[in-house]
Amino acid sequence: MVKGFRAAAVCAGIKKNKKKDLALIVSDTPAAAAGVFTKNRVQAAPVRLDKQRLSSGVCRAIIVNSGNANCCTGDQGMADARAMTRLAADALNADEAHVLSASTGVIGQHLDMDKIRAAVPGLVSGLSENGFAAAAEAIMTTDTRPKLVFEQGQMGEKTYSLAAMAKGSGMIRPDMATMLCFVCTDLEIPAADLQQVLVDANEASFNRITIDGDTSTNDTVLLLANGQSGVRAKTPADFRAFAALLENVLGKLARMVVEDGEGATKCVEICVINAASRQDARQMADIVANSSLVKTAFFGEDANWGRILAALGRAGVAFDPDAVDIWFDDVKMVKQGLGCGAQAEAAATAVLQKKTFAVTIDVQSGLQQASVLTCDFSLDYVKINADYRS
């Protein structure tokens, strides 16, 4: 339980499968608010609206629908996003400017506002301290399971709580990743500090994952802090402690997203070590993590290290291919750019049969490193996305 926060979810009929598709998260008092959003130039109406409203640093509620992205919907889409927040604000007796919205689903279709209007009274009446699980379920699209984390933090002898939910399974790519995430804490922390903590935690978590290389139009991470625990972050040590807790929570959610990737059977950490710079390491890890050939080899449990080297070669980073070592977990598959033989390949193949493993790439160019979490490409990924709208 996070003091002063409630949540609820209902089936409004937006989705065709008659599952929950409308969620509401409410702070009983105005909360400090921070957000990060997609960097895609094509941005959904709720993203544009939230970016405007977050300038106040205050939020009372977030209303979210799944099944429709409300993106590429023109002036009507913006009007609908505002109408969603107005409906929630009126029902909560709150300032509409302090209500944010989010949407996820099919692009290019207008929301059925009559369904949302009819569902809001039941949504508000269902608000509960225990409603977060239902809300986490309602924001899913192709996800196979809800993603929800509760944690507690300490400042001195006092305890505060944090709850975070996310959705995401496909259209996931670093640069804000591709998902919705909502975080509530009863810690008191100024909005300006909250924003910097969120930016840093997002960079270390959701910006380090990929499923299919596509960046969404609706990426939204919102963080609310209402201070209802009576615990206040005041010192640099307090801010560092909260930042560490938030990064841990978002990291857990990020891994859940990759593990639940559309059609995924493997969760793989790509680690590039001993690069000349952190940026070089990140570029190299990213190119390998997003390589369709590498990802299909993971699915086929084929220790095809040549595809990894080939991907590195197009990362735009200077390195010596004849100096590269590659491990699959603790199995050394490549030494100084050459394969280590049939015995090593058999051991590496056994590693690839696991659901979770790491690929470590030593480029021997410096002392910096970076990692990206990815998954395999399976036949089911194609099937899911071939008929997503039908």
Residues annotated as catalytic (active site), given as ranges: 178
Tokens of 191: 């909005």
**Amino acid identity, position 269:** E
According to DSSP, the residues that pair with 271 across neighbouring strands are: 360, 371
DSSP 78-122: HHHHHHHHHHHHHHHT--GGGEEEEEEEETT----HHHHHHHHHH
Contact predicate 139/12, CB 8 Å: no
User: Rounded to an integer, what distance in angstroms lies between the CA atom of residue 209 and that of residue 122?
Assistant: 36
Q: Contacts by 337-342 with C-beta closer than 8 Å and gap 24+?
A: 337/309, 339/305
Contact predicate 58/195, CB 8 Å: no
Bin 230: left if φ > 0, else alpha if -120 < ψ < 50, else beta.
Answer: left
What is the DSSP-derived secondary structure letter of residue 207?
G
Number of residues written out for the chain: 390
CB-based contacts of 306, cutoff 8 Å, min separation 6 = none
Residue 228 φ then ψ, to 5° = -75, -10
Q: What are the DSSP E strand ranges found in the chain?
A: 5-10, 22-37, 58-68, 99-106, 147-155, 158-167, 180-185, 220-225, 267-275, 325-328, 331-335, 338-339, 356-362, 368-375
